[in-house]
Amino acid sequence: MSEFWWGVVVIVALWIFFSMRSKTKKGRANRAFSAFDLAKPWFEEHGIESSSVMFGAYDDVSLARTPGATVLVGTGQTSKGNNVGFALEIAPSRGVVDHEILVPYGIATWHKNASMQAQMLGQSLMDVLVAMAASHRAQLEPIAKVDNFCQIDDFGFSVLHSAAWAGDNNRAIQLLDAGVNASVPVSKAQKGPKNNCEGATPLHFAVVNGCVDVAKSLLTRGASVRAVTEYDETPLHWAVGISELIFDAMLSRGANHRIRNRQGATSLHLSAASSSNTSQRWGILRDSPEEVDFGDFRPNSEKIASLCLSAGIDVNDVDYQGNTALHWACIYKNRGLLQLLMKKGGNLEQKSAKGLRPIDHTVLELNASLCKMLIDAGSPLPCLSSEFEDVALFLKSRARHSQCKELADLLLEHDLFPNEGSRRQLYEEFQRIQNENTFSSVQYDSPPSTLDTAPVIESIDMLLKSGANIDAISKTGDTALLIAAGAGGITMLKYGRGFRDCYCRQY
């Protein structure tokens, strides 16, 4: 077979692959929302307000007790404000066919780790979650027989850390009443790999799992809101991506909103990494369900940013790389926050240490809509001179990306391609690709969190077991954690992997 026909076969195969992938993703999203709708009578029966529910959805047949059922795992609140953890199996046209109430409710937030364990053990997801909950309760019972409440285990965690991580407020209160230090830090692990959260207090753990009641109990008993981890992160930094309610509560208790993490970022910078408009998750997201990560709804970034600005953070404050919150909003494609920051006086001409303005990041991210928004707001036109000699040649190298042509047309309207030769090369490349009909179907505006992270975590585990340094810093000053954050997986390395190693050994 000639090279031409081999090329045709490859092109057709790629087109089929991306088409099927898009349809599969959309189908899974629709099934998850349909399952949620079928579960509403069950929520009503158990006094759970459906508007408060946050959940993860799994349609892998190997994870369900009932053949063909979708598994929903999540938490919700009753009308009295009590938190409830649940795992449901929902069959089409039949509704909820099996259920488990998870005590403590915070166990439901472990569903991603539980799903990986269930697949490895060949068990149902509900069985693994129930076992995790039972193991946690057994570990802390009976509390009267615990010899040393402040004892640190081989992985660096105290009993209070375990209670806070699981959202077990009753146990947390008992331990605090027994005299456990509310701000006891995670110490260096004596066994296993580095836990990646040295210095974290129970308040950090309660915050990262969104356990509002545990966080309140810790705060009322004197937990430090200024304690920092080895990455110089306070509970306030962790709350940015989890709960504006906890964030506001810690601000009112004197949390220092000006503290910077190791990258020099304040809470205002970090708010850009939180997806906006989550209050509309049952509305707008239902119109484009293929872009939804059901287990990772995050707080409204505009509310977090407004709290930061009201507390006195300068809208044009820069991190150690010279980036303002506007730069971060462009990097994370956070439209709502970008609009807010511009209204509050964000400097569109501010250059980072690399000489990049906020609008330059919209070009690097191939985001035509945000680029147009900034141009309309009076931003200088992008130049990328510190990174690339020619914008047209940069776009040519990414011409197969689906949004590249739209961005190039926008920049052409504003005469941003002074070099006629490079402009001609760019549009010749577009024409060549169009003739081949091989434009990529990958949408880079879609939340990266919709991607399956299990293979990534497996690869990371393999590298670490081979001696890789998880804290290694690249020439550009990036750690693996920072790169994961840029990919939308800010909890994957720091919270997910580190805690998974520790807790999988216990459960």
In order, the DSSP letters of 396-465 are HTTTTSTTHHHHHHHHHHTT----HHHHHHHHHHHHHHHHHT------TTS-GGGS--HHHHHHHHHHHH
pLDDT at 100: 93
At a CB cut-off of 8 Å and minimum separation 6, what does 217 contact?
169, 172, 173, 176
pLDDT at 13: 64
Longest dimension (CA), the chain: 80
Residue whose structure tokens are 């615990």 = 146
At a CB cut-off of 8 Å and minimum separation 6, what does 341 contact?
305, 315, 325, 326, 329
User: CA–CA separation, 83 vs 77, rounded Å?
Assistant: 5
Structure tokens at 406: 């739209």
pLDDT at 92: 86
Give the CA-trace dihedral at 131, 133, 137, 140, to 10 degrees: 100
Question: Is pLDDT above 90 for 401?
Answer: no
For range 134-158, the mean pLDDT: 65
Q: How far is CA 441 from the centre of its chain?
A: 23
pLDDT at 1: 52
Structure tokens at 91: 């069959």
What residue spans of 232-378 are helical by DSSP H?
235-239, 244-252, 267-270, 284-287, 301-311, 325-331, 335-343, 358-364, 368-376
Contact between 457 and 492 under an 8 Å Cβ cutoff? The reply is yes
**Domain locations in the chain as residue ranges:** 3-139, 142-255, 448-506
Nearest partner of 274 among 247, 314, 309, judged by Cα = 247
Question: Is pLDDT above 80 for 276?
Answer: no
pLDDT at 171: 85
pLDDT at 450: 37
At a CB cut-off of 8 Å and minimum separation 6, what does 274 contact?
240, 241, 298, 299, 300, 301, 304, 334
Lowest mean pLDDT among 56-70, 191-205, 354-368, 468-482: 468-482
For range 498-503, the mean pLDDT: 31
**Confidence grade of residue 486 (pLDDT, cut at 50, 70, 90):** very low
Structure tokens at 278: 């989550």
Q: At 308, which amino acid appears?
A: C
For range 195-216, the mean pLDDT: 84
User: CA–CA separation, 32 vs 36, rounded Å?
Assistant: 6
User: CA–CA separation, 429 vs 393, rounded Å?
Assistant: 10
Q: At 94, which amino acid appears?
A: R
- Residue 496 DSSP label: I
Q: Look at the domain 142-255 and name its fold.
A: 1.25.40
- Per the model's pLDDT, the better-predicted residue between 438 and 468 turns out to be 468
Q: How far is CA 142 from CA 155, 163, 174, 257, 335, in A?
A: 22, 14, 11, 39, 50
For range 391-417, the mean pLDDT: 85
pLDDT, tens digit, 9 for 90 and up, residues 33-60:
788 888 899 999 999 988 888 888 888 8
Q: At 440, which amino acid appears?
A: S
Q: Round the average pLDDT of the chain to a whole number and report it.
A: 75
Phi-psi region of 243 (alpha: psi -120 to 50; beta: other; left: phi over 0): beta
Contact between 386 and 356 under an 8 Å Cβ cutoff? The reply is yes
Give the CA-trace dihedral at 495, 496, 497, 501, to 10 degrees: 100
pLDDT, tens digit, 9 for 90 and up, residues 315-360:
999 999 999 999 999 998 888 899 999 999 999 999 998 888 999 9
Q: Which residues of 281-304 are buried (b: 16+ CB within 10 A; e: fewer)?
A: beeebeeebbbbbbbbbbbbbbbb
pLDDT at 176: 87
89 pairs with which residues across the strands? 71, 98
Question: Is pLDDT above 80 for 281?
Answer: no
Q: How far is CA 79 from CA 39, 51, 225, 244, 441, in A?
A: 17, 11, 29, 20, 44
Q: How far is CA 293 from CA 106, 207, 222, 489, in A?
A: 19, 20, 35, 12
pLDDT at 189: 67
- Per the model's pLDDT, the better-predicted residue between 79 and 101 turns out to be 101
Question: Is pLDDT above 50 for 491?
Answer: no
pLDDT at 149: 56
Give percent above pLDDT 90 in the chain.
15
User: CA–CA separation, 230 vs 78, rounded Å?
Assistant: 37
